[in-house]
Structure 1
């Protein structure tokens, strides 16, 4: 309410100042004809001024603001993969019985183009993203996610994630799996029905995680070659991956 009153007062003050200046012009020069000409010229230019200021300038600012928000979002995504996303993807994918079908096409390098990324994304949609639960150590997954619960919560509370629904959905899926595991005192002797339920949670994460990882790799390749270099050397689908430069 106070802001509205301030705007109304400002507008009224500016209009009054304009009238006073026009009156002063008339008192000094006694030339109403020129006042009319310049007033009409100013009014005629007003629509163009509105177009330039309210539309063009606004779009420039909005585009800049959008780029800044996306930059912040990608910083959050980078933190996610650095803190535990890459490790989680490595562990889950290592327990994918069909991994050998897609492993060769996920060895991203600097020669990849947008067309390459699009082609791989298309092929990944046909990958079942299954997880062999007989090889999964649920206790280890429980400890791993539990140790990063605070980071997950902080990320979910970050408002910039509203710009990226797919990544937000991934965080929700990871947080849900962590909640499922933390509510089970002993995950070493679960019935088959419960194991199947947890397998569904893991496979949901796997499908979302692999797509987000690929998008992030494309972003790094385009914008941060030095970060992309490390991401290539620690590729979760590369069996010979090593951070050591050889």
Structure 2
């Protein structure tokens, strides 16, 4: 309310100041006809000024705002994968029965191009993860999720992620797996129905996490080659397992 009042006062003061200047002009030069002509000329240019100020400049500022938001989102995504995402990816990926096949397809190399990333994402969207739950694996994943719980909650509270639907959906799928695991006192691996339920939740989270990881790597490949080189050498599917160049 105060901002609206302040804005109205500014408009009123500027309007009165303009009238005062025109009045002084008439009194000094004694030419009301010419003054009226210039007033109308100024008014005639108002639509053009508004068009430039609101449409052209507005679009430019909006694009800048979108770019800045994307940068903030990418910083959040980078933080997630460095602090929690890669560890969770390793912890969940062991449940896949076709673990070897996935590793071969996802062994990102420094020389990967955009087309390879696109083809791999298409493969993942259609891939059958073939999840198999084991007692030891579930125990390990539960402890891992507990250690990353605060990081996930903090990310979900970040308003910048509202602009990135797929990443938010991925976080929610991971968070759901975490809640399912923590809610159980023990894991009855002989309970087929419960293991199938957990398997579907893990499969959903794994597929979403793998796709977002690939999209993140593709973004680094295009925008930040030096970061991509490092992340490609330390990726969880690397056969070499060594980030040193030339080894």
Shared fold, TM over 0.5: yes
Q: Which position in structure 2 is the counterpart of 1:241?
A: 241
How far apart in 2 are the matches of 1:67 and 1:16?
Answer: 40
| Cα displacement (A) at 1:64 | 1.3
Q: Which position in structure 2 is the counterpart of 1:19?
A: 19
Q: Which position in structure 1 is the counterpart of 2:184?
A: 184
- Corresponding residue pairs, total: 246
Structure 2: tracts of 5 or more residues without a match: none
How far apart in 1 are the matches of 2:26 and 2:13?
Answer: 20
How far apart in 2 are the matches of 1:28 and 1:65?
Answer: 47
Q: Which position in structure 2 is the counterpart of 1:124?
A: 124
How far apart in 1 are the matches of 2:189 and 2:109?
Answer: 42
Structure 2 residue 157 is the aligned partner of structure 1 residue 157: yes
RMSD: 1.9
How far apart in 2 are the matches of 1:14 and 1:228?
Answer: 54
Query: SS of the counterpart of 1:84?
Result: helix
Contact 1:95 / 1:135 at 8 angstroms: preserved in 2? no
Q: Which position in structure 1 is the counterpart of 2:55?
A: 55
Q: Which position in structure 1 is the counterpart of 2:74?
A: 74
Query: SS of the counterpart of 1:96?
Result: coil
How far apart in 1 are the matches of 2:111 and 2:74?
Answer: 22
TM-score by length of 1: 0.92
Structure 1: tracts of 5 or more residues without a match: none
- Structure 1's consecutive aligned runs of 4 or more residues displaced over 6 angstroms after TM superposition are none
Q: Which position in structure 1 is the counterpart of 2:93?
A: 93
Per-residue Cα deviation, 1:72-106 (whole angstroms, up to 9, x for no partner): 11111111111221122233334322344444332
Distance change (3 Å), C-alpha of 1:136 and 1:47: farther
| Cα displacement (A) at 1:189 | 5.1
